[in-house]
């Protein structure tokens, strides 16, 4: 996507908030024009008073003094109002962009997002969107203000003294057009590298925090920290290079402003001294024109700093649009979705590959799960057990046929399907909130009794009651304040709260001691009686205790038929 197309798309996304942005631009223009008028009137007033004093002439100083006060008040109030309006517009815009991106992402299957790590996706919703604030706060608005104010100032100066207006116009074009363009070119590559380094740093940091125990066991913490240091140095280097380009550009704008001051002084003074050779100028206008020319560069002063951020904005926007523009691979089914006759599930010659060049995760799977049956699936890692569960909620597309309640699985709309099928995966996310808030994500309308019942089923109720704030205790990022087994059972409680017709439990006894695992399995068995439940596990004892029958899988297919289970515990 070209830079111009990128700008057009960013402006199109900002359309719902164009009223706020336009108001901020108008207030900013009034502020800049008031500043220029203040300097010009003040210069004229001082010179006119001096001339009146020397010539013993009379002068009405009340009107210019009132004008100076007026422009000073407008400038001061305008600065505050412009900051208030521009930041309000930007915050509203960023909130809208996050919602827009999230709505795009939820239409995508996990398979379409596997190239982006979890920390990278979180960064897309946070850091990359925040980077786009520079597109509006420091790019679009300053450019609009610079164009409007520069044209108006040059026209007013041209009415007073055309030679000064010509010199001022040339220097404004240099400072507001050529210099920022060069700064943008110099900062584009460092800015893009800064965005990439920031994303990589975020992912590596998340990996360090989440895998700290494993890294310590492997003795790899120092190596990981060294990698983080190297990425941080790349980030600082890229930001420094972009900042250096911005500083040089700001110095060039300052030089242009100084040249404008001297040019206006020389040209206006020459007009006073030369008589008829140049347009006649009153002596008191000389400092007014000089100071107004100097103040005019307030309109273009923010542009070099804005262009310094262009590389980061461009890279962040491309990363976001790369996600947002992906076509959902899971096509929505019928509207409305069919009503299942029962909770019977049938897999017929189902095949699944996670990538075109990867071995099959499921290779011609044939399996029938009757309505209301508790079925356990046993098998080694990589046998396709978890893949089977993910297909039932359509996290991935597949070949073959899966029927649920007598209807093709593809005929259900994804949202309706995930209300029918609940899954507690091994990698389910817990959020940085309270126990109550994490549970309510599954059932927002659930009352306290329902929450407590779910916790009782997963053997967590007593533990939660003993927490400092009970069910309202904060559990930390990804459940950091919980043990692995407690976090796993909280995920199970959340799945139970949804009350789906079909429930998939992926390794529910992981990280639990044998006694707790037996109690959990017995409780889950009683709570899900009469419901279709698929238990995915490595533990034959849990499978025998929980299920009506056991299926063994290997190499993506049922390996040796079925065997009976026991529900006696």
Place of tokens 């220029």: 36
Q: What is the DSSP string of 271-337?
A: HHHHGGGS----TTHHHHHHHHHHHHTTTTTHHHHHHHTHHHHHHHHHHHHHHHTPPPSS----SSP
DSSP element (H, E) containing 402: strand 399-404
DSSP element (H, E) containing 501: none
Would you tell me how many other CB atoms lie within 10 Å of the CB of residue 448? 9
CATH code of 424's domain: 3.40.50.300
Query: Same domain for 352 and 478?
Result: yes
| CA distance from start to end of the chain | 61
Task: Give me the pLDDT at residue 569, please.
Answer: 35
Query: Same domain for 307 and 372?
Result: no
CA 101 to chain centre: 8
Of the residues 292, 324, 356, which one is the last residue of a structural domain?
324
**The two three-digit tokens of residue 172, written as one number:** 């404004």
Query: Same domain for 296 and 386?
Result: no
Is residue 330 domain-resident? no
Query: Same domain for 315 and 374?
Result: no
Of 138, 26, 130, 131, nearest to 85 by C-alpha is: 26
Is residue 422 domain-resident? yes
Query: Same domain for 308 and 400?
Result: no
Give the sign of the dihedral formed by CA 385, CA 502, CA 522, CA 430: positive
Is residue 474 domain-resident? yes
Is residue 331 domain-resident? no
Is residue 337 domain-resident? no
Is residue 508 domain-resident? yes
1-to-14, 103, 307, 308, 430 alpha-carbon distances in Å: 18, 22, 19, 20, 36
Would you tell me how many other CB atoms lie within 10 Å of the CB of residue 357? 6
pLDDT in tens, 355-384: 778 888 898 889 999 998 899 998 888 888
Query: Same domain for 306 and 351?
Result: no
Task: Give me the pLDDT at residue 119, please.
Answer: 58
Contact 197, 315 (CB under 8 A): no
CA angle 400, 405, 408 (to 5 degrees): 30
CA 499 to chain centre: 32
**The two three-digit tokens of residue 339, written as one number:** 């009503």
Query: Same domain for 162 and 255?
Result: yes
The rounded distance, in Å, linking the Cα atoms of 556 and 387 is: 9
| Structural domain count, the chain | 2
147-to-3, 36, 117, 143, 174 alpha-carbon distances in Å: 20, 15, 42, 6, 13
The rounded distance, in Å, linking the Cα atoms of 94 and 92 is: 6
Of 119, 114, 113, nearest to 231 by C-alpha is: 119
The phi and psi torsions of 460 (rounded to 5 degrees) equal -115, -5
Per-residue H/E/C for 106-169: CCCCHHHHCCCCHHHHHHHHHHHHHHCHHHHHHHHHHHHHHHHHHHHHHHHHHHHCHHHHHHHH
Contact 532, 343 (CB under 8 A): yes
Query: Same domain for 146 and 179?
Result: yes
Task: Give me the pLDDT at residue 171, please.
Answer: 94
Query: Average pLDDT of the chain?
Result: 85
DSSP percent split of the chain into helix, strand, coil, nearest 5: 65, 10, 25
**The two three-digit tokens of residue 551, written as one number:** 């299926």
Is residue 333 domain-resident? no
Task: Give the global pTM.
Answer: 0.67
Contact 79, 27 (CB under 8 A): no
CATH code of 131's domain: 1.20.1560.10
Place of tokens 């908030």: 17
Query: Same domain for 281 and 389?
Result: no
Query: Same domain for 219 and 304?
Result: yes
Of the residues 267, 289, 324, which one is the last residue of a structural domain?
324
Domain span at residue 549 reads 345-564
| The pairing of beta strand 345-352 with beta strand 362-369 | antiparallel
Q: Mind listing the pLDDT tens digit of every residue in the chain (569 residues)?
A: 566 777 788 888 888 888 888 999 999 999 999 999 999 999 888 888 888 777 766 677 788 889 899 999 999 999 999 889 888 888 888 888 888 888 887 777 766 676 666 556 666 567 778 777 777 777 788 888 999 999 999 999 999 889 999 999 999 999 988 988 888 888 888 888 888 888 788 878 877 877 787 788 888 888 889 999 999 999 999 888 888 888 888 899 999 999 999 999 998 888 886 655 556 678 888 899 999 999 999 999 888 877 777 777 888 888 888 878 887 777 777 778 888 888 899 999 999 988 778 888 898 889 999 998 899 998 888 888 888 888 888 888 889 999 999 999 989 888 888 889 988 887 777 888 899 999 998 888 888 999 999 999 999 999 998 988 889 999 887 787 888 888 889 999 999 998 889 999 988 888 888 888 889 999 999 898 888 999 998 888 888 888 878 888 888 888 865 555 544 33
Query: Same domain for 378 and 260?
Result: no
Query: Same domain for 369 and 290?
Result: no
Is residue 338 domain-resident? no
């Amino acid at each position: 996507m070209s830079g111009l197309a990128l700008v057009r798309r960013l402006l199109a996304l900002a359309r719902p908030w164009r009223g706020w942005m336009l108001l901020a631009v108008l207030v900013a223009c009034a502020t800049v024009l008031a500043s220029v008028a203040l300097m010009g009137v003040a210069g004229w007033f001082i010179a006119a008073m001096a001339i009146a004093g020397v010539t013993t002439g009379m002068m009405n100083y009340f009107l210019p003094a009132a004008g100076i006060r007026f422009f000073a008040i407008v400038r001061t109030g305008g600065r505050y109002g412009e900051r208030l309006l521009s930041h309000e517009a930007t915050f509203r815009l960023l909130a809208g962009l996050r919602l827009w991106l999230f709505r795009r992402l939820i239409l995508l299957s996990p398979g379409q997002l596997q190239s982006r790590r979890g920390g990278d996706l979180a960064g897309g919703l946070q850091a990359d969107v925040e980077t786009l604030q520079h597109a509006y706060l420091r790019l679009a608005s300053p450019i609009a203000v610079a164009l409007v104010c520069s044209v108006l100032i040059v026209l007013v100066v041209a009415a007073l003294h055309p030679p000064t207006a010509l010199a001022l116009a040339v220097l404004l074009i240099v400072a507001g057009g050529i210099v920022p363009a060069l700064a943008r070119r110099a900062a584009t590559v460092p800015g893009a590298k800064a965005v990439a380094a920031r994303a990589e740093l975020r992912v590596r940091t998340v990996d360090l925090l989440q895998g700290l125990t494993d890294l310590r066991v492997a003795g790899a913490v120092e190596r990981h920290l060294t990698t983080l240091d190297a990425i941080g140095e790349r980030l600082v280097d890229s930001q420094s290079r972009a900042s250096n380009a911005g500083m040089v550009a700001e110095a060039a704008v300052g030089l242009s402003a100084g040249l404008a001051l001297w040019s206006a002084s020389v040209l206006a003074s020459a007009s006073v001294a030369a008589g008829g050779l140049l347009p006649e100028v009153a002596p008191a206008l000389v400092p007014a024109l000089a100071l107004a020319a100097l103040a005019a560069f307030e309109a273009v002063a923010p542009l070099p700093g804005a262009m310094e951020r262009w590389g980061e904005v461009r890279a962040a926007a491309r990363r976001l649009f790369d996600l947002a523009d992906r076509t959902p691979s899971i096509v929505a089914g019928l509207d409305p979705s069919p009503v299942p006759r029962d909770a019977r599930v049938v897999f017929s010659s189902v095949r699944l590959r996670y990538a075109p060049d990867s071995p099959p995760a499921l290779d011609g799977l044939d399996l029938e799960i009757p309505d209301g049956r508790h079925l356990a699936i046993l098998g080694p890692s990589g046998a396709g057990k978890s893949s089977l569960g993910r297909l039932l909620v359509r996290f991935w597309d597949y070949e073959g046929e899966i029927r649920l309640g007598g209807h093709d699985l593809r005929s259900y709309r994804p949202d309706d399907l995930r209300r029918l099928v609940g899954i507690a995966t091994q990698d389910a996310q817990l959020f940085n909130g309270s126990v109550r808030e994490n549970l309510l994500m599954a059932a927002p309308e659930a009352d306290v009794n329902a929450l407590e019942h779910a916790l009782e089923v997963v053997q967590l109720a007593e533990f939660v009651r003993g927490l400092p704030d009970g069910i309202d205790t904060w559990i930390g990022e990804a459940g950091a304040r919980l043990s692995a087994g407690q976090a796993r059972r909280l995920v199970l409680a959340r799945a139970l709260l949804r009350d789906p017709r079909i429930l998939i439990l992926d390794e529910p006894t992981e990280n639990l001691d044998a006694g707790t695992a037996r109690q959990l399995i017995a409780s889950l068995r009683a709570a899900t009686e009469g419901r279709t439940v698929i238990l995915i596990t490595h533990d034959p004892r849990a499978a025998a205790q929980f299920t009506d029958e056991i299926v063994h899988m290997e190499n993506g297919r049922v390996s040796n038929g079925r065997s009976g289970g026991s529900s006696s515990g």
